[in-house]
Structures are given as structure tokens and as C-alpha cells.
């Protein structure tokens, strides 16, 4: 067996998920078969981020460090045969970012231990990772409770003959969500033309930016919902829901090399028309109860007071070309017939391959309530976690604090292309770009 039979690191209470500002403690366990001379036994707590321009390349082009602490737990001497334990404790910095692993960069934390032996002898090393969760409280994001809205118009022609104008509006119920919650999406399509549109598609998109010398943008479709097209001369409405799977939080606060953004894109296949709804993914859900308006006050003689005007800004509705006003005026005069768009397919499925079925009452209360309740219902039988830690864009992990993180058992699966894209892609347009008729191609003619 040699001199060293066991060299291992254990964390107090087997805790592996920590928050910034916490202390991490544990024990270095050494079992030797014979006397082992050493110059020093040291323990390091290290946390850093590295990014590269090549996929899965650990030779980082750029790095930044968040924690690097060293503790000498034993000075020069001899370890007699037997079992030895050395305690350690480190303080995690208050602004360290959440753990993350992606194809072009990683944020990793670990405890390392080394037995520094005399000259010409072999040094012994071991390490153990731990995970950091820096909570993103969505309630701290301005106007997070407001809907995310976008609108655009499209003039198109068929065989050089103008057939009319199309208007696409979309909005989500909120601007921020947590894993397990439901995004309520609404879209309106005013097809004032003589040609049917293609299918309508809503996609939850993740954009991860790796800030190398030449920044890379890894663009991934997380979930998709497809609806039918709109007949010529029809005004159609589409309402759908997208369940947010376990995902890394927006932004990765504290890290300057990796940035994560999310948006919902609503698009038409024909004519090619797109609107973008920026959203946030966080760890602490929006407290809608605290945002509700107080009861209506009454005047001295019992008459109700007029409602107070909110001081918070209203949701920004992008401006559209002047043709929109004409279009809506004609619609108000009864020019178009309204109809509901049926949903054709959804990318989120359970392992059996059947589409998820949720009762209408599942959406009648707090967003995501039905999903959260189902998770808690399982906790009596299994160790379903109370929160999730995603340590990678394609490898979300769960942990309840005292257990080793395991791959998620969430019944939702991601589309096959989520983990098979090999190269970074151009990022989607920003919110401002999607609203600007000068910078977008939404209003160009389709030939």
C-alpha cells in the first residue's frame, strides 16, 4: 500500500454548497502505513474564472481570481503510522460569483491539500470542489414586475405585388423568473394582407458571452413553443406558457469574464419577422404580494379618492412605423376578424416523450406554483432540493446543502440542439436594436 494509504478532504456536515460571506471548514484526513517525513502540510482555498476561445480548452487565455488563501496545518516533522486529522477553515469573499461551467469558460472553487516531502521524495496532493451560489434577488431589479413588451410591423410583397402589412406584438407577464416558474406569453398578429403567414415560434434563448480578446457569444435555444400560422386578413391572438428549467442566473455578478443574458424571441417564419423580449433568470422570485396596491382611501364625505398615479415608469413599448396607426385604425373599424392561434408543438417534454399536461388551474395563482408544489410533494419520498445550483450551461446540479450535488431529476428536458451546438453564434439583437426601425431588418420588404 506504500506509506500513504489515504489522503482526503471532508467538509463539515458534508456541506458542498456555500454562499458568499460564509466560512468553509473541514478536515484533512491522512492515513499512513509507515512513518512519513514532511517539510509542511498546507491547505489552499482557491476560486477563479478562466475563459478560452477553444471549446473545452483548460489553457485559459484570460483568468481572474476571487479567493486564494493558504493555511499551513503542520510544520516540518514526521507523521507516524496511523490516522491523522487536521482541521481547516476559510472565509469566502462576499462578492465571489456563482459557480459555472460552460464550453468556453468556467468559474471553479476548490480546497487543495499538499504534503510537501523532503527533496527527491514524491509530494502528495489532493483536492475537493465546492460550489458557490450568489443569489440574484429579482426584487432588486428595477421594474422587474412590469411586462416585457415589443412590437414591429412588416411590409411585404409577393411576386413584386404589394399584398399588405403585418403587425406583430408580444409581451410576457413579468421581466424576471426563477427555475420552475412559468413564463406567460401573449402575442398578437394582425395580418392585413392577402397571404397566409408561416407558423409562429416563441423561443427561450440563452446568450453566454465569454470576454476573451475577441469576445465569443454562445447562443442556445432552451425551449420552444410553436403555433399555427394566421390566415390572410385575420387578427389572431396566441397565449402560451414556457416552464423555466434549471438555468444559471442572469449576469453572474462578480465575474467580469462571463456574462449571461436571457430573452424570449417571438418570430414568424413567413414573412420573416422577429421581436425580442429581454428577461432575467434569478434565484429569489418576485414578491408580487408586496407590490399590490393598498386599499382605496376615502375622502371626508365618503367619496372614494381617485387612484394615485404610480411613480414607477410604465413598461417601455417600442415605437413602430406610422403604418401601425393606420393599421390599428382600420382594425378598430372592424376590418379584421379575430381568432385564436392553436399551439402545434412544445420542446419541453417528460422522459417518456409525452408533452407536459398541466390543468388550467395550475396557472390561476402564483406563476410556477403548480411546479413548486409538485417538487415539495416528492420531497417526502426523495431528497428533492429546495434550491438548485447550476454549475454549467448544460449540466445543472441540485443540492440540499448537506448532500453531494447530483444531476437534476427535473422531468423537463432540453431540446437536443442545446448540448450539440459546437461553435459560438452571433448574439440576438439587443432590446434597443429590436425596437429601432433603422437598425433592424423587420420592416424591409420581402421579395
* Domains of the chain from N-terminus onward: 4-132 (2.60.40.640), 138-286+316-372+402-435 (2.60.40.640)
Residue 150 and residue 170 in contact, taking contact as beta carbons nearer than 8 Å: yes
Q: What is the pLDDT of residue 347?
A: 67
Q: What is the pLDDT of residue 368?
A: 32
pLDDT block averages, 10 residues each, the chain of length 447:
83 93 96 91 96 90 95 91 95 94 94 90 91 93 94 78 85 94 94 89 94 90 91 91 92 94 92 93 88 50 42 40 42 54 65 32 30 30 34 38 43 35 43 46 38
Does the pTM surpass 0.85? The reply is no
Residues paired with 132 in a beta bridge: 18
Q: What is the pLDDT of residue 293?
A: 53
Residue 249 and residue 279 in contact, taking contact as beta carbons nearer than 8 Å: no
d(CA 374, CA 314): 35
Q: What is the pLDDT of residue 360?
A: 30
Q: What is the pLDDT of residue 300?
A: 42
Q: What is the pLDDT of residue 2?
A: 57
DSSP three-state, residue 12: helix
As a residue count, the chain comes to 447
Give burial (CB, 10 Å; 0-12/13-18/19+) of 412: buried
Q: What is the pLDDT of residue 171?
A: 94
Residue 131 and residue 399 in contact, taking contact as beta carbons nearer than 8 Å: yes
Residue 58 and residue 35 in contact, taking contact as beta carbons nearer than 8 Å: no
Amino acid at each position: 500500500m506504500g506509506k500513504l494509504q489515504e489522503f482526503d478532504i471532508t467538509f463539515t456536515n458534508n456541506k458542498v454548497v456555500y454562499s458568499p460571506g460564509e466560512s468553509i471548514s473541514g478536515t484533512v484526513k491522512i492515513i499512513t502505513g509507515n512513518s512519513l517525513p514532511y517539510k509542511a502540510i498546507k491547505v489552499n482555498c482557491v476560486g477563479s474564472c478562466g475563459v478560452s476561445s477553444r471549446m473545452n480548452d483548460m489553457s485559459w487565455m484570460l483568468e481572474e481570481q476571487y479567493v486564494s488563501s493558504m493555511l499551513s496545518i503542520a510544520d516540518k516533522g514526521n507523521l507516524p503510522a496511523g490516522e491523522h486529522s487536521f482541521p481547516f477553515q476559510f472565509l469566502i469573499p462576499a462578492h465571489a460569483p456563482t459557480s459555472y461551467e460552460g464550453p468556453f469558460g468556467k468559474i471553479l472553487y476548490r480546497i487543495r491539500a499538499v504534503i510537501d516531502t523532503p527533496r527527491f521524495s514524491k509530494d502528495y496532493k489532493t483536492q475537493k470542489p465546492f460550489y458557490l451560489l450568489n443569489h440574484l434577488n429579482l426584487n432588486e431589479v428595477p421594474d422587474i414586475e412590469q411586462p416585457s413588451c415589443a412590437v414591429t410591423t412588416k411590409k411585404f410583397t409577393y411576386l413584386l405585388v404589394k399584398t399588405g402589412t403585418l403587425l406583430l406584438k408580444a409581451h410576457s407577464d413579468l421581466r424576471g423568473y426563477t427555475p420552475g416558474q412559468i413564463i406567460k406569453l401573449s402575442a398578437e398578429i394582425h395580418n392585413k394582407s392577402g397571404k397566409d403567414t408561416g407558423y409562429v415560434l416563441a423561443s427561450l434563448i440563452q446568450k453566454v458571452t465569454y470576454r476573451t480578446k475577441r469576445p465569443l457569444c454562445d447562443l442556445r435555444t432552451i425551449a420552444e413553443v410553436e403555433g399555427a400560422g394566421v390566415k390572410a386578413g385575420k387578427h389572431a391572438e396566441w397565449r402560451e406558457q414556457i416552464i423555466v428549467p434549471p438555468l444559471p442566473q442572469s449576469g453572474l455578478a462578480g465575474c467580469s469574464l462571463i456574462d449571461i443574458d436571457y430573452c424570449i424571441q417571438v418570430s414568424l417564419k413567413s414573412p420573416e419577422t422577429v421581436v425580442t423580449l429581454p428577461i432575467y433568470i434569478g434565484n429569489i422570485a418576485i414578491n408580487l404580494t408586496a407590490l399590490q396596491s393598498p386599499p382605496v382611501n376615502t375622502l371626508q364625505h365618503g367619496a372614494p379618492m381617485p387612484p394615485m398615479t404610480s411613480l414607477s415608469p410604465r413598461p417601455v413599448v417600442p415605437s413602430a412605423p406610422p403604418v401601425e396607426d393606420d393599421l390599428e385604425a382600420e382594425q378598430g373599424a372592424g376590418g379584421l376578424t379575430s381568432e385564436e392561434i392553436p399551439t402545434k408543438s412544445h420542446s419541453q417534454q417528460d422522459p417518456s416523450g409525452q408533452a407536459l399536461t398541466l390543468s388550467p388551474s395550475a396557472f390561476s395563482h402564483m406563476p410556477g406554483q403548480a411546479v413548486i408544489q409538485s417538487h415539495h410533494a416528492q420531497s417526502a419520498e426523495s431528497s428533492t432540493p429546495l434550491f438548485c445550483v447550476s454549475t454549467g450551461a448544460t449540466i445543472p446540479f441540485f443540492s440540499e446543502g448537506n448532500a453531494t450535488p447530483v444531476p437534476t431529476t427535473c422531468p423537463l428536458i432540453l431540446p437536443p440542439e442545446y448540448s450539440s451546438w459546437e461553435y459560438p453564434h452571433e448574439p440576438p439583437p439587443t432590446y434597443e436594436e429590436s425596437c429601432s426601425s433603422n437598425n433592424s431588418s423587420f420592416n424591409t420588404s420581402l421579395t
